[in-house]
Structure 1
Amino acid sequence: MMRVRRLIVLVTTLTLLCGSVAYADSVSQKLRILINNKKSEEVADGGIVVDNKVYISSQVVSDKLQAIVVKEDGKAIIYKPNVHMVTSAGPKIFAGVNKGDKFKFTTFIQVDTLKPDINALKLTIADPYGDETLIEQRKSGDANFPADGKSDFWITVEDISYNFDKAGAYTLRFSVKPTGESSFKVISEKTINSQ
């Protein structure tokens, strides 16, 4: 008799559990996220739909939209600063190079509406295979670091020597480290094509 009761309890529990999983699966649905409707920028399982409402991961917003997501007091605040980068070799502005070119260039970075305080910034370049090289890093207290609380500033990184030895897209990345955070957040990218 005891075995029969255990069997009934077990069957009832499994039935309820399987029914709950099936119901939960029908209420929510995984969602693929496409940035600028590009298949190459697709994030599989980057969001979900629950009751016809779309929920996107804050990590997707931060990484793909180059925004800073700050979580405080039970809310997520998204900051998207306006950042422009221009590269020049001498007086000539460029966005493309010949494969094998090695030369010195300057990068001008203009930032405005950067609301969160930052304590470090850096500029890197990644080759077409993703190998990243640090070009310059600055931290709070350095003479050439933007003044505290400044949301609008210019940065000039001069005499960057780099060998564009591979064909493809090189990516300059400008990143900042918000105060209180342990990692850098990319807030702007610029592509230099090598052919």
Structure 2
Amino acid sequence: MMKVRKLVLLTLALSLIWGSVAYADGATQKLRLWINKKSESSGVIVIDNKTYVSTDVIADRLQGIVVKDDNKFDFYKPNVHMLTSYRDGTIFGDVPKDKKLKFNTFIQVDSLKVDINALKLTISDPYDSETLIESRKLGDSDFPDKEAFWITMKDISYSFDSAGPYKVRFWVRPVGETSYQVVSEKVINSK
């Protein structure tokens, strides 16, 4: 009799647990989001037929700025263009593999509707090893303080040792935030 009672209680407990798991799985559902043909599986979820996307995913994939303020998030998408050029002014986007080149990056920004206190430019090799090209902060004599500006970053000598895409990224840090956010990315192909 004792064994039957334990078996019934165990069956009832497992039924309750399994039913709760099945209900929770029906209430929340993970989705795969595709932005520019790139899949994003984390940070996207459906709860009660409403889709929620992480602000980190939005900022990263759309190259915008997310500012958290009390109970809200503001998203800003400045218009940013970058050109890479050699010392003689020749614009390029492809480079030979195993070549060390000296170049600079020209950046045009407009519609920057949020105050920033720092910016930086980096380059990453095909294996995502990142190198800082230059950074500027509020108070520097060459720091832009408008919503529209043009800047030329310093020359850099860089070795394109591997074949593949090198990513030049322009980052900004909004006032009140602790981390930088990418607002533009240019790819240099090494062949």
Is the structural similarity TM-score above 0.5? yes
For 2:35 and 2:190, how far apart are their aligned partners in 1? 24
> 2: CA distance between counterparts of 1:121 and 1:158?
13
TM-score scaled to structure 2, two decimals? Answer: 0.88
CA distance in 2, matches of 1:142, 1:162: 25
* 49, 66, 84: which one aligns with 2:63: 66
Question: How many angstroms apart in 2 are the aligned matches of 1:127 and 1:98?
Answer: 14
Q: Which structure 2 residue ranges, 5 or more long, are not aligned? A: none
Matching of residue 170 in structure 1 with residue 166 in structure 2: yes
Structure 1 residue 194 corresponds to structure 2 residue 190:
yes
**Mapped contact 2:134–2:154 kept (Cα < 8 A):** no
Tell whether the 8 Å contact from 1:33 to 1:46 is kept in structure 2 after alignment.
no
Ranges in structure 1 where 5+ consecutive residues have no aligned partner:
none
Identity within the alignment, %: 60
Residues 1:143 and 2:151 are matched in the alignment: no
AA partner of residue 178 (structure 2)? S
Structure 1 129/7 Cα, relative in aligned 2: closer, same or farther at 3 Å? same
Decide which moves more: 20-29 or 87-96. 20-29
Aligned-pair CA distance for 1:191: 0.3
1:91-134 CA-partner distances (Å, limit 9, x unpaired): 21110011122222121101111122111100010111111110
1:159 partner amino acid: D
Q: Secondary structure at the match of 1:91?
A: coil
Report the Cα distance in structure 2 between the residues aligned to 1:93 and 1:48, rounded to whole angstroms.
42
Alpha-carbon distance between aligned partners in 2 of 1:19 and 1:162, rounded to the nearest angstrom? 59
State the secondary structure of the residue aligned to 1:59: helix
In angstroms, what is the RMSD of aligned CA positions? 2.3
Q: Give, in angstroms, the shift of residue 79 of structure 1.
A: 0.9
After TM superposition, the structure 1 stretch with the greater mean CA deviation from structure 2, 67-76 or 56-65, is 67-76
Q: Does 1:35 align with 2:31?
A: no
Distance in 1 separating the partners of 2:6 and 2:75: 52
Q: Could you tell me how far apart the structure 1 residues matched to 2:9 and 2:74 are?
A: 47
Give the paired residue count: 190
Give the alignment's TM-score, normalised by structure 1: 0.87
Aligned to 1:109: 107
Code of the residue aligned with 2:168 in structure 1: it is L
CA separation of 1:19/1:73 partners in 2, compared to 1, >3 Å: closer, same or farther?
A: same
Residue identity matched to 2:30? K
Q: Distance in 1 between matches of 2:13 and 2:74?
A: 42
User: Which of these residues, 158, 161, 173, is aligned with residue 154 of structure 2?
Assistant: 158
Displacement of 1:14: 5.7
Q: Is the 8 A contact 1:124 1:132 kept in 2?
A: yes
The equivalent residue for 1:25 is 25
